[in-house]
């Protein structure tokens, strides 16, 4: 049977109250006594029953999630996962609120963070934009003891407690490696379509992609990146222009959203099968394009894992508990049409 507070009180030869004082480091315990108790804890291998402790404390965790608004299917997937987490709230002792702000708008995001601050939650999860006012807003939250986790796109210079997202440089490198190998000896340049260089994840993916092509496939020309604002209509226009200007285009790496536009442009130009397309995020559209062969590889981050991980980390950090980094690592899923899970998304 696992030891309880009573057992360690008996083992240490002190009262329950003293054990409690040590465990919850309340004042009024001589250091000799404290040592006795701590030795008893060690020898018996006592571990606090977190469930019972939470029950007794009646603790709950008010959390705020801040996501970009708009049509971006991946972000809407994230939102769906946040709502699923809300539905689990009673069981997880969380009280989750959701704020949506215009995409790529640092000012609006900073305002949303200030609003979140006013509500005094235990923690905030935010899809960050890499801008000074955002960094400052995060700092103010942290100064008030509010835990901040960045989601999907990080804010490395800031005081954020944790980043729940993939290693975007590695993602870009992976795309570069696959693109290089898939193209093999085939001629022609490679294009890159991003959402915006304002967000760090897109910058990092580009950096990784270009690095690998430069290192390992230096014969391959990479065209200057174009920014589609994660907007399908704009992306379609841009890709159509690229296809027209470069009849020998060998590949496209779409590292942001708006893949409906990418797929439409490729198919309309009749180049779906000849251009190697690598894109990000599994959505109903990108899934269909992968199965049809228009997209060759999809890199994905599991939205459900990201949200659940963020919540675990927020709760742990709010309690001052350590986080097992290895367990919270968000993996880069690589989907070919052969390993597509047949369920959701």
Partner DNA sequence: GAAGTTTTGATGTACGTAAATCAAAAATTT
Partner DNA sequence: AAATTTTTGATTTACGTACATCAAAACTTC
Question: What residues line the site for a copy of itself (CB under 8 A)?
Answer: 2, 45, 47, 49-52, 54-55, 90-91, 167, 170-171, 173-174, 176-178, 181-182, 184-185, 208, 212, 302, 304, 325-327, 329, 331-334, 336-339, 341, 343-344
Looking at the Cβ atoms of 100 and 272, the one nearer to a copy of itself is 272
Q: Which stretch binds DNA (CB under 7 A): 23-31, 65-73, 125-133, 201-209?
A: 23-31
Residue 256 has a CB neighbour count (10 Å cut-off) of 27
Residue with tokens 């960050």: 128
User: 223 is written with which tokens?
Assistant: 């065209």
The residue count for binding DNA (CB under 7 A) is 32
Judged on CB neighbours under 10 Å (0-12, 13-18, 19+), 189 is middle
Is residue 57 part of the contact set for DNA (CB under 7 A)?
Answer: yes
Residues near 317 by beta carbon (within 8 Å), at least 6 away in sequence: 123, 147, 149, 161, 162, 323
The reply to whether 321 sits near DNA by the rule CB under 7 A is: no
What is the distance between the alpha carbons of residues 150 and 135, in angstroms, rounded to a whole number? 11
135 binds, among a copy of itself, DNA, none (CB under 5 to 8 A by kind): none
- 17, interface contact from a copy of itself, DNA, none, CB < 5-8 Å by kind: DNA
Q: Closest separation between CB of residue 34 and DNA, Å?
A: 7
Among 39, 42, 43, 55, binds DNA (CB under 7 A): 55
Residue with tokens 């987490």: 85
Among 39, 40, 41, 53, the residue binding DNA under the rule CB under 7 A is: 53
Nearest CA among 126, 253, 239 for reference residue 202: 253
Is residue 111 at the binding interface for DNA, with CB under 7 A as the rule?
Answer: no
Of DNA, a copy of itself, none, which one sits near residue 188, judging by CB under 5 to 8 A according to partner kind?
A: none
Give 230: exposed, middle or buried? Use CB within 10 Å, 0-12, 13-18, 19+. Answer: buried
């Amino acid at each position: 049977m696992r030891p309880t507070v009573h057992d360690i009180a008996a083992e240490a030869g002190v009262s329950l109250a003293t054990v409690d004082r040590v465990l919850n480091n309340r004042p009024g315990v001589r250091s000799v006594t404290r040592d006795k108790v701590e030795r008893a804890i060690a020898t018996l291998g006592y571990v606090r029953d977190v469930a019972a402790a939470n029950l007794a404390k009646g603790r709950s965790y008010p959390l705020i999630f801040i996501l970009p608004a708009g049509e971006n299917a991946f972000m809407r997937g994230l939102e769906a996962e946040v709502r699923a987490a809300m539905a689990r709230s009673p069981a997880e002792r969380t009280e989750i609120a959701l704020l949506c702000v215009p995409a790529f708008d640092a000012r609006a995001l900073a305002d949303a963070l200030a609003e979140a601050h006013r509500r005094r939650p235990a923690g905030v999860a935010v899809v960050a934009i890499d801008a000074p006012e955002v960094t400052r807003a995060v700092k103010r939250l942290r100064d008030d003891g509010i835990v901040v986790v960045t989601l999907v796109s990080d804010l490395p210079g800031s005081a954020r407690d944790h980043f729940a997202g993939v290693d975007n440089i590695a993602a870009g490198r992976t795309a570069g490696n696959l693109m290089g190998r898939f193209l093999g000896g085939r001629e022609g340049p490679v294009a890159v379509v991003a959402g915006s260089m304002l967000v760090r994840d897109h910058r990092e993916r580009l950096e990784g992609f270009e690095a690998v092509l430069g290192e390992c496939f230096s014969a391959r020309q990479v065209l200057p990146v174009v920014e589609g604002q994660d907007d399908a209509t704009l992306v379609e226009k841009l890709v159509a222009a690229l296809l027209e200007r470069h009849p020998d285009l060998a590949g496209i790496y779409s590292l942001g959203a708006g893949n409906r536009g990418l797929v439409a442009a490729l198919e309309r130009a009749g180049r779906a099968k000849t251009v190697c397309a690598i894109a990000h995020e599994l959505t109903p559209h990108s899934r269909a394009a992968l199965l049809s062969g228009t997209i060759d590889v999809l890199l994905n981050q599991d939205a459900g894992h990201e949200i659940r991980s963020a919540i675990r980390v927020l709760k742990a950090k709010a309690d001052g508990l350590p986080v097992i980094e290895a367990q919270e690592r968000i993996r880069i899923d690589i989907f070919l049409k052969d390993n597509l899970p047949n369920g959701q998304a």
